A = this chain, B = another copy of it.
Amino acid sequence: MILVLSNEMPDEERLELIKKMEEIGLRVHESQGERYRLLGLIGNTSTIDRNRLNAIRHIEKIIPVQESYKLANKAFHTKDSTIIDVKGNKIGGENIALIAGPCSVESEEQIVSIAKDIKKSGAKFLRGGAFKPRTSPYSFQGLGSEGLDLLKIAREETGLPIVSEIMSVRYIDEFAENVDIIQVGARNMQNFDLLKELGELKTPILLKRGLSSTIDELLMSAEYIMAGGNENVILCERGIRTFETQTRNTLDLSAIPVLKKHTHLPIIVDPSHAGGMWWLVEPLSKAAVAVGADGLIIEVHNDPENAKCDGQQSIVPERFDTLTKQLRKIAELDNRII
């Protein structure tokens, strides 16, 4: 970390600042420029509260050199990549995991039927929303706990581990007990209290990138969970907000190789929410596999036109089946397995 000091900072103030930094175990390297004096802080700066330094009037700028996340950081990790393994279904490494299922669980028949279909096509996990984040209080809010029960029936029938989104700390216990991978939605990526409580579980967490969050912010949110002790975090790129209105969001596929450079955590892609239209799912999924994603989470519904939510971005099981075949071929080019 580099501190840019105004030349007007009194010597005694500067010396005191240096003393403080040394007291917390850092070495300080001074350097005098034309209009500024620089302090290079050497050592573990990830626990420094940048905000507090910022308050010192003669510090003009604080320039981080290293990343602020440590547990999520590849540079500090023994293994090159973390593999999440739920009863033999893996995310990370050579495996490209397909997670599929409806936006929201609607009935036993619906969820079991979809689960069977996607399993046949090669999906390794079943997704389904029980508690739904909706921008309008007047929209369908999900079946709640009943939805989780139906998901469990589908798991029973197919053996597929289940993925579902948590929206409130009130349901931590229920999710910890019943769900195999707990999803944190884009709008809750910086719900820090939720992240902290999830950090105390052992269940893997599927953490979606916020609508206008940077890659660093996503990693800092992963760090929140990991700092609590739960290192089973799967990152998910699901599109960011841009000025483009033809798509629901803009899928940031560059984020995949960039994340792979900085973190050992697996990274999957959600083409359904990113594009917001069923006919975009196929090309975006292919691109996601080609760019190196560790998996995909795709909305599949057996009757999209009557889906209780997100029908416009869901594909039918037949199309999912065709898609998986195409994806497999792209994966094979890189010796990866779907």
Among the stretches A111-119, A151-159, A162-170, A173-181, the one at the interface with B is A162-170
User: In the assembly, how many copies of this chain are there?
Assistant: 4
Residues of B within 8 A of A196 (CB): 137
- How many chain A residues sit at the interface, stated as a range, is 35 or more
A227 in contact (CB, < 8 A)? yes
Given A38-B40, A284-B253, decide whether A224 and B137 contact each other with a Cβ distance below 8 A. yes
Which B residue's beta carbon lies closest to that of A1? B33
Q: Is the CB of B223 within 8 A of A136?
A: yes
Q: Is the CB of B167 within 8 A of A192?
A: yes
Given A65-B61, A214-B245, A250-B250, decide whether A311 and B51 contact each other with a Cβ distance below 8 A. yes
Q: Is the CB of A223 within 8 A of B75?
A: no
Among the stretches A82-90, A91-99, A120-128, A326-334, the one at the interface with B is A326-334
Q: Is the CB of B51 within 8 A of A42?
A: no
Residues of B within 8 A of A188 (CB): 191
Q: Is the CB of A311 within 8 A of B55?
A: yes
Q: Which of B47, B212, B290, B310 is within 8 Å of A289, CB to CB?
A: B290
Which 8 A-B pairs give the minimum distances between C-beta atoms?
Answer: A55-B311, A168-B193, A212-B212, A290-B290, A54-B312, A287-B287, A287-B291, A286-B290
